[in-house]
Structures are given as structure tokens and as C-alpha cells.
Structure 1
Amino acid sequence: MLQSHRLTGMQGNGARSKTHRGAFKAAALAPRPNARLRLRIRAEASPTATTDPKALYADLDTVCDNLRRAPSTMRLEFSGPVLETYQQLAAAGVATKWGSALTEALRRRNVFIGELRQVGIKHPDKIAVPSVRNDAAFLFSVVASTSILAVLAGQLPGDWGFFSSYLIGGITLAVLAVGSTAPGLLAVLIDKFSQVFPDYRDRVLKHEAAHFLLGYLLGVPVTGYSVELGREHTEFAEAKLQQRIIERTLSDEEIDSLALVAVAGIAAEGREYEEVMGQTADLFDLQRLLLRSRTRLSDAQQQNVTRWAVWAAAGLLRTHAKEHGALVEAMRRGASMAECVQAIEAADK
């Protein structure tokens, strides 16, 4: 199972006033008494310096690093400078694709299975259906390996061969017992086992790059990512909401924008592979958002939002295929946030 992004921010209702933003940034970066938090200093730039791409990209890395170091209780405050930096990059004409997808037609509508195929989803019927590939491969490997070992152990002389065969054969029964009594523990083992598949690394990269790219195109401040095995995620800031998701309800426009970011990994995998392995956590994030909807949604409406979001996300990924490919390669080599943004902006030039 691929771990999904940490979805903590989205399109909001408007920016803070200039005065409020300045006070917000000053409060976030000001030293606190007895603070143990070590932050990188972000110098206040002059009006002329703020148009320098190199300085702006350096600022982006700095504020993202500060947010990463901030304690969880202060993450909302530290996300303010991240949003400001993205806005400065866009205003300077450096980040021309930042929020560019907001101008495209992203109105929610009914979407049918055939339309998912039109945007490149190989098997639309498998969307929101958990894959059993890893489970089956894990159980087959356990049964096959223990069977071979039991046969070999049976060749040992005397009672060693007799008891060893039974003990090794009991491993399969133990695995089945764990799966019945503690399925969560078995899921962890299966998740670790899935990393042996040759396509695992590429799946992770394409999955997380899709979250990153669509968040960027929809104007959601991306603050970090990880493609380390077992720690895969993409992080977003809460600055645009100006409030934590759990503290407010979301409008239809906010739900629509953030739903695309939530299912971007599903759309990316669905376009590239026969099965979508990393959709469980993505769908959990989407469900969490739908429960915060200001408009009460029935089960059928929630299913349609899911289908529409996958369709719209796949369409954006198809339109911005060069940007997605460039971002995948940047993340493959462990690029910084600024380098990832530069890869997106330079993709079609």
C-alpha cells in the first residue's frame, strides 16, 4: 500500500489583508523566549530584490524548511510565509503555472465510466476497489517458501527432520491466524513486502508527483514531499484556509479543488498501471474532506464527486504530462522544493 499525502490545506476564500499578512509573518518568524526551535532566517527583501528569481526560490526553500521544523501546534502560523512566497513568485512572473488550473473549467458534474477511459484511466471499474495483488503475492510467497523449507528440513536425520517440517509448516497457519485476529499487523507486513515489486519505486514517484503537481496548478501551497520507502507523502500548507480543516466546513468550490488534489495519485496510477495500489489512503483523505462539506452529500453524490475528481485530475495530468514527467525525475533525484517548482515551470520551454 502506498502511503498518501498529508492533505492539510486547500483553496480558500481570499488572502489576508496586507497588514495582517505582515504581522502574521513577523509573529511566525520572531524568536520566542526559551524556544528550542532552530529556524533558518528569511531576510526581508527590498521591493527590487523580491523580483529576483534566485532570491525568491531561496526564500521558498527557507520557509518550507521552517514549516517542517515548526511544532505541530504552530504549523498553521508558519504556513503563512509559504503562501506569500508562492504569491511573490507568481507576481514576479516566475511561477506562471502556480494556480493556473483555477482558470480552467473544473465545475462538478456527473461523470460516467466511459469518460474515465477517455482521459486515460485503464480500468475505471477498479477505482475505489481495493487491490489484492500485494495480499495474494505475500500469501503465495509465505506458502511457497515454507513448503520448500519444510521439504528440505524433512531430509534432516532423526527427529530433527520430523519436528522441523511441522514447525516450518506452522508458519503459514500463524500468518493466517494473525490476519484473522490482527489484520492491521498483517497489513504492515504486506506493505513492507510490496516494496520488492519492481514497479514500486516508479509508482511512488508518479503518485506523489501527481499530488504535488495538481496542488501547485490549483494554487495549494506545497511545502514538502518524501518518496522514501514506507514514508511516502506530499505535504500542503493550511495558509489558504486560514484555519485548520477540522475547525470549519468547506464550500463546494473548496471541496472541488481539494478533491482533485486528494485523488491525483489515483488518477496518475490509473493512467499508467492496470491496478491502483495507493488509493486507500487517498480515498480516506477525500472522505474526510467530504464530511466537512457545507452541503450535505448523499452516498450517491459522494461517489459521483469521487468519479468526477478522478476524471478531472486525469484530464489535468494528461494536459500537463510534460510537467508531471519533469517533476517525477526531479523527485527521483531528491530535488529541493525550489528545484521541483523550477522543473514544473521549465517543462514545456
Structure 2
Amino acid sequence: MQVPQRLYSLDELKLNGIEAISLLSPVDATLGAIERNLQIAAILSGSAAWYALDLSPQQILFVSLGVLFLWTLDLVSFNGGVGTLVLDTIGHTFSQKYHSRVIQHEAGHFLIAYLLGILPKGYTLTSLDALKKEGSLNIQAGTAFVDFEFIEEVNRGKVTATMLNRFSCIALAGVATEYLLFGYAEGGLSDINQLDALLKSLGFTQKKADSQVRWAVLNTILILRRHEKARSKLAEAMTRGKSVGVCIDIIEKSISDDDL
């Protein structure tokens, strides 16, 4: 850990070049735009089919109910996994910015976890990769860790300060990386929500939760700035689909013992 743990004000974060609102309120504009375009295309296609096939109002109703049923089934059975898979696949295929952002985001998680003593055990960069590896639509792309000790502590309802600090930084590493590279974060809302839910489950007051998050943001940003070269090389390796072992070797070769 690099910075003392205390309550940092938003002004103190700004003095360190951090605009919290741009980091902690991510909105995925890329996938949002893709989703809106798909909805418009669906409406136009439906209208064209109506005129071309001369469908009756009753037939239109049945088709609409069928689409609504499939959408509801996806939400209930797969937690929106099918929709996420479609949007994510289109995003990676047609948006180089989205593709790059996801890779950098996961490289941030991977690097911070390893530097803080939590071993990454695998990663996926797309929802399609996650589906192929895990065989489930409920699993999103991301980085997985050897976190048995942390899970045990969470299940007991008592998480040590050291473990909480580590996982707070890891949770925010993705949005922090995006912020450093692009000036704002688009992905990572689920990471923030999970951290927020954890802090609430541990009985944190809003003030105490804010203190934990602001400290973790500052600490994570400073670590990422210090090891920018390692993160960049790690992202390149992850782009090429290198193994976890190779990725760790790249980190160790990019960072001297004095920097650890």
C-alpha cells in the first residue's frame, strides 16, 4: 500500500489529478449506442415486414408477445446473458475503442491483484470467450482470482482490514485504468456495485464507505501510474491470449525489486 489510510476529501483527490465523478459513475456509451441502434433496426425491420408480408394486427401481437417472452426468459434464466453476449460481441467486432478499453480494464484488475498479493487464475476478454470457457451465459468476461480466503471471510461476515483494502483496490482497478487512459470510465459499473454491496453488508456507514472507496481510488491510481509500463505490456500479452503464467512473468520482468 502506498498512501496512508484516512478519509480523503474530493478536493484532495483533485489535487492528485483525480475527478471522482469521471471514475466512479461509469456509463457504457458504446454498448448503449449499439443497443439503441439495434432497437431502431428492430422497429424498422418489423415495420418493413408488416408492410411486405401484410401481417394482421393479431399476427403482429403474437410476434410482439413472442419477442417479449424471449426477452423476459433471458432476464430471468440468464440474468440478461444473451443480450449481453450479443452487445459485447458486436462491440468487440465493430468498435476498436470498446475492444481496447475492455482489454486495458482487465489488465488493470490483473496487475493490481498481482501486486497486492492476490494471484490471478484466469481471464476472459469477451462474453463469447467466457461462454466457451465456462459454458454458462451467467458468467461475464473478466479476471478471476485465487480468493478462497476472501470468500471465507465474506461468508463469515468478518473481513480483515488488510483483505478489504486489497479487494477494494482490485475492484476499482478497472475503472481506474480506464480513467487514466481515456479521462473517464465507461465499464466497471458492476465492480463498483459489488464493492458498494460488500461495504453495506459489512455494516459500513455512508461516510465510512466513502472513506474506503476514496482511499482505494487514490491508492490504486498511484500504483497504476507508477507501473504504467508493466500494465501496457500486460495488456499486449492479454490481447494475444497469453497464459496467466506468461502474463505474470511479463509483470515481474517489467518491474524492478525496488519498485515493488
TM-score, normalising length: structure 2? 0.72
Note if contact 2:27-2:189 (Cα within 8 Å) is conserved in structure 1: no
1:172 deviates by 10
Matched, 1:221 2:119: yes
Q: 2:173 aligns with which of 264, 267, 275?
A: 264
Note if contact 2:88-2:126 (Cα within 8 Å) is conserved in structure 1: no
Q: 1:276 aligns with which of 185, 188, 195?
A: 185
Note if contact 2:122-2:143 (Cα within 8 Å) is conserved in structure 1: yes
1:330 deviates by 1.1
Matched, 1:342 2:249: yes
1:321 deviates by 0.5
1:331 deviates by 1.1
Task: Look up the match of 2:110.
Answer: 212
Task: Look up the match of 1:299.
Answer: 206
Task: Look up the match of 1:95.
Answer: none
Task: Look up the match of 2:136.
Answer: none
Note if contact 2:104-2:178 (Cα within 8 Å) is conserved in structure 1: yes
* Separation in structure 2 between the aligned mates of residue 304 and residue 320 of structure 1, nearest angstrom: 24
1:250-306: CA deviations, max 9, x gaps?
A: 23333223211121112112223465343233124423543575xx52122112312
Note if contact 1:220-1:240 (Cα within 8 Å) is conserved in structure 2: no
Distance change >3 Å, CA 131–CA 185, structure 1 → 2: farther
1:125 deviates by 1.5
Structure 1 gap ranges (5+) = 1-101
Task: Look up the match of 2:54.
Answer: 161
Matched, 1:319 2:226: yes
Q: Percent identity?
A: 22
1:318 deviates by 1.1
1:172-199: CA deviations, max 9, x gaps?
A: 99559957x9588684344221432213
Note if contact 2:120-2:144 (Cα within 8 Å) is conserved in structure 1: yes
1:236 deviates by 2.3
1:325 deviates by 0.4
Task: Look up the match of 1:109.
Answer: 6
1:315 deviates by 1.6
Structure 2 gap ranges (5+) = 131-140
SS at match of 2:121: strand
* Separation in structure 2 between the aligned mates of residue 190 and residue 227 of structure 1, nearest angstrom: 17
Matched, 1:133 2:29: yes
Distance change >3 Å, CA 140–CA 278, structure 1 → 2: closer
Note if contact 1:210-1:268 (Cα within 8 Å) is conserved in structure 2: yes
Q: 1:202 aligns with which of 66, 83, 100?
A: 100
Q: 1:255 aligns with which of 144, 147, 164?
A: 164
Note if contact 1:223-1:236 (Cα within 8 Å) is conserved in structure 2: yes
* Separation in structure 2 between the aligned mates of residue 323 and residue 110 of structure 1, nearest angstrom: 29
Distance change >3 Å, CA 184–CA 129, structure 1 → 2: farther
Distance change >3 Å, CA 169–CA 268, structure 1 → 2: farther
* Separation in structure 1 between the aligned mates of residue 64 and residue 254 of structure 2, nearest angstrom: 51
Which one has the bigger helix percentage? 2
1:64-86: CA deviations, max 9, x gaps?
A: xxxxxxxxxxxxxxxxxxxxxxx
How many residues were matched structurally?
239
AA aligned to 1:233 is G
* Separation in structure 2 between the aligned mates of residue 130 and residue 239 of structure 1, nearest angstrom: 29
SS at match of 1:223: strand
Note if contact 1:146-1:172 (Cα within 8 Å) is conserved in structure 2: no
Matched, 1:188 2:81: yes
Task: Look up the match of 1:81.
Answer: none
Task: Look up the match of 2:138.
Answer: none
1:124-150: CA deviations, max 9, x gaps?
A: 324443626367435522442134324
Distance change >3 Å, CA 143–CA 215, structure 1 → 2: closer
RMSD: 3.9
Task: Look up the match of 1:21.
Answer: none
For 1:33-182, list aligned pairs within 5 A: 102=1, 104-105=2-3, 107-117=4-14, 119=16, 121=18, 124-129=20-25, 131=27, 133=29, 136-153=32-49, 156=52, 160-163=53-56, 167=60, 171=64, 178=71
Distance change >3 Å, CA 243–CA 171, structure 1 → 2: closer
Task: Look up the match of 2:146.
Answer: 237
Task: Look up the match of 2:216.
Answer: 309
1:243 deviates by 5.2
Distance change >3 Å, CA 132–CA 224, structure 1 → 2: closer
* Separation in structure 2 between the aligned mates of residue 221 and residue 177 of structure 1, nearest angstrom: 39
SS at match of 1:220: coil
1:151 deviates by 4.6
SS at match of 1:346: helix
Higher Rg of the two aligned structures: 1
